[in-house]
Chains A and B, each alone.
Chain A
Amino acid sequence: MFDIEVKDLTKRFGDFVAVDSISFNVGHGEVFGLLGPNGAGKSTLIRMMTTLVPPTSGKVLINGFDVVRSPNDVRQSIGVIPQAMTSDLDLTAWENMSIFAKFYGLSREERRKTIKELLEAVDLTQWADKPLKMFSGGMRRRLEIARGLVHHPKIFFLDEPTTGLDPVSRVAVWEMLSKLKRERDLTILLTTHYMDEADKLCDRIAIVDHGKLVALDSPLKLKASVPGKNIMEVSFANPPPDWQTLLRNLPDVADVKAVDNVFRLSSDNGPRTTVEVMDAARKAGVEVTSLSVQSTSLDDVFVHYTGHQLRDALQAPAVYQQPRV
């Protein structure tokens, strides 16, 4: 039995299809990432899995419980960290956790022990009696993660856990999640639009774009599925019209994608292709304005499967913003 089973899951808002017949399973102890830009359908997907949004069709089983038929069994099995910070700024860290522990029916002694342990785990013990209004964004997020684990859930959902945090806080959250997963035998599903986050944390990644699941595998296998070992990004000042074809015909070049005067070349041999590109440019009288060579990254995977860069999709306005509560 899988901890999370998603079968042909679809969500429509009027004519708009936010999630389009997505299926996947998540095994016990796995860290599973949903990667995609804003408006891709990640949050709607996670909200359906956590009983917050009813599916239009399809089926979701969490810990063996159907989200539609047995929502309270699902809620008892999961810890959820929504995208918005949902802790109360006027209450202290301890009070915030204690109130949520009461929602799950923990006894006084259990509450005291669990909250103490979790605050230690997220390195907030010395802040236990301080109101959250004194906390930084990173501290609040760490507290929310601790709060989500107060009832010892089997499966942990995190919707964009590091969005809005500074780089140092992001790394701190990653380390804390890895530690908690090891110590608590958790299955984790998280959504993110950070490539490095997905790469660092996830055992498997599902790439979601425009409500569809476009790729699903481990980060290593996803990278291996992109043609070429290296990705070169070269900008030219005045490329001729057949420049893309010329570059594609260079030895070792597996694929070329062009956006304006910027060309992305997938190559099996980065250093040699660099020399060949420079030679070809010199012979054709084309000026090279910039050139970079890197190993295949998840960014390249995203471009390969969706046809556009994640950073471009993040900058574009989201097609649909789900209404908030």
Chain B
Amino acid sequence: MHRILAIIERDLRRFRRSPTLIMVSVVMPLVQLIVLGYAFGGKLKHVEVGVVDEDHGVPAVKLKEMFQAIAANASTFDTVAYTDQTSALHDLRSGRISAVVNIPPEFSRSVLAGKNPRIALIEDNTDQFAASALEGSLTQLLAPYNAPATAPRLSADVTLSVVEVYPYVPYIQYLLPGSTVLAIFVSAMIGGGIIYIDDKARGLHEGYLVTPIRKFELILGFNLAGAVKAIMAGAVLITVGSLIAGIPDPLNVARLARMMLLVVLTALALISMMFVLMVRVSDPLVPRAMFGVLNTLLFFPSGAVYPIAAFPNWMKAIATVDPFTYAVDGFKELLLKNTGLWAISGDLLYLFIFTLVAMTGATLLFRRTL
């Protein structure tokens, strides 16, 4: 045990004297949380929409007034009046506006005659987010426009009443579980990948190998040393990250304790995964080159930024074995739903088994000789 503790001691002393390393492993995921959280989480505002009124009737004027009401209040879009379709389409293609709403001639006549009146939305569909938001907004706008002036006393229309179990979750909160796992992963990557291989290349391990230390002691020592640093990074994210993201009751002690258990298991799983990948690697460039690939391959399929249900099957297969998936799921339960440990017992079990398998693999693959 004293040998394992000696390895941990050495690693932590070095870590304490490397403020840059601490900054990178903690600050980078926090920056990502803030930037991505606000970049993806905001609502669309002030999209320029051209309106071509070729009808000029009262129903068309009423419609234009509703557009202007949205521009003045929700500000989803701003309207620009055009007198003809050609100049509106020219501005659409040259990027000055994002869509054109065309109210055709005879629109008012069709409305008054009840003959299936139509307006056209010509949109720049290269930006799917803006296009679908605009469509949604205009569809919503047309619902009250189409409603009869006097509602029937008894209606046969089916309406949907939505009951939200949890408070509204802004995107930055949705992203926090992923950012927490990412912070742990960055520490694991630095400790279990980059520093481990650099030490190896510098000959530091040769010094260890001539001592009576056993394979398992070395692997366990390296793993625990890396895990301690990853746990520190995870702990910062679940506290500071929760405060930044505005998680309700962020310093709830019981929840923090549950999250720390998940942080520990996630750290052990990710660090042992790094060791099993790096145990036979000697070239210091390899972990650096793998960093981006692993980050993409593990983070994005995990459901950290988008629901797994929307993935194609091959990505779902990655998500099934990816330890990120279980860690992200666990943090979502704890952070967003404040559940108990029973709700994440499957995640904890998977991470525990993953750690055992990876650490056994790393020990078997580790060479006690040069």
Main secondary structure of the interface of A (DSSP, over half): loop
**Contacts of A76 on B, CB cut-off 8 Å?**
212
Asked if A91 contacts B14 (CB within 8 A), the reply is: yes
Instruction: List residues of chain B with CB within 8 A of the CB of A102.
Output: 2-3, 5-6, 9
Provide the residues of chain A in CB contact with B201, threshold 8 Å: 324-325
Interface digits, A24-65 against B, CB 8 Å rule (1 contact, 0 not)?
000000000000000000000001001111100000000000
* B207 partner, pick from A86, A91, A105, A322, beta carbons under 8 A: A86
- Cβ contacts under 8 Å, A87 to chain B: 207
| B220 CB to nearest A CB, Å | 14
Cβ of B18: which chain A residues have Cβ within 8 Å of it? Answer: 90
Chain A interface size range: 20 to 34
Contact A86 B206 (CB under 8 A): yes
Q: Are B370 and A52 in contact (CB under 8 A)?
A: yes
Inter-subunit contact B204/A86 (CB<8 Å)? yes
| Whole-angstrom CA separation of A95 from B7 in the bound complex | 12
A323 within 8 A of B: yes
Residue of A nearest to B282 (CB): A325
Contact A99 B6, CB 8 Å, known A72-B212, A75-B212, A85-B203: yes
Interface string of A77-98 (1 = CB under 8 A from B): 0101011111110110001000
Cα A5 to Cα B214 with chains together (Å): 25
In the assembled complex, the Cα of A292 lies from the Cα of B6 at a distance in Å of 57
Q: Which of B7, B9, B206, B211 contacts A104 (CB 8 A)?
A: B211
Please determine whether A82 and B206 come into contact, CB atoms closer than 8 angstroms: yes
Is A84 touching B203 in the complex (CB atoms < 8 A)? Answer: yes
Size of interface on B: residues with Cβ below 8 Å to A: 30
Determine the distance from Cα of A104 to Cα of B2 in the docked complex, in whole angstroms.
Answer: 9
**Given A51-B369, A53-B369, A99-B10, A78-B210 contact (CB < 8 Å):** yes
Chain B residues whose CB sits within 8 angstroms of the CB of A239 once the complex forms:
none
Chain B nearest Cβ from A143, distance in angstroms = 12
Q: Mark B197-208, 1 if CB is under 8 A from A, else 0.
A: 000111111111
Contacts of A325 in B (CB 8 A): 200-201, 203, 205-206, 209, 282, 370
* B203 and A104 contacting across the interface, CB-CB below 8 Å: no
- Chain A residues, CB < 8 A from B115: none
Complex CA–CA separation, A193 to B7 (angstroms): 34
A131 / chain B contacts, CB cutoff of 8 Å: 17
The closest CB in chain A to the CB of B367 belongs to: A325
For B369, the chain A residues whose CB sits under 8 A away are 51-54
Residues of A within 8 A of B200 (CB): 325
Q: Does B153 contact A (CB under 8 A)?
A: no
B213 within 8 A of A: yes
Whether B370 lies near A99 (C-beta < 8 A) is no
Task: Collect the chain B residues with CB atoms within 8 Å of residue A99's CB.
Answer: 6-7, 9-10
Known: A84-B203, A88-B14. A75 touches B9 (CB 8 A): no
CB pair A88 B204 closer than 8 Å:
yes
C-alpha spacing A50/B10, complex, angstroms: 24
Q: Is the CB of A80 within 8 A of B17?
A: no
Smallest CB-CB A-B distances: 10 pairs: A84-B203, A86-B207, A102-B6, A80-B210, A103-B211, A90-B14, A75-B212, A82-B206, A72-B212, A52-B370
Query: B residues near A, CB below 8 A?
Result: 2-3, 5-7, 9-10, 13-14, 17-18, 200-214, 282, 368-370
Chain A residues in contact with chain B, CB under 8 A?
A: 47, 50-54, 71-72, 75-76, 78, 80, 82-88, 90-91, 95, 99-100, 102-105, 131, 322-325
24 contacts between A and B (CB under 8 A): A51-B209, A52-B370, A53-B370, A75-B210, A75-B211, A76-B212, A78-B210, A82-B206, A82-B207, A84-B202, A84-B206, A86-B203, A91-B14, A99-B6, A99-B7, A99-B9, A102-B9, A104-B211, A131-B17, A324-B201, A324-B370, A325-B201, A325-B206, A325-B370
| Known A91-B14, A323-B282; further 10 A-B contacts with Cβ < 8 A | A50-B210, A52-B206, A52-B209, A52-B369, A75-B211, A87-B207, A88-B10, A90-B14, A325-B203, A325-B370
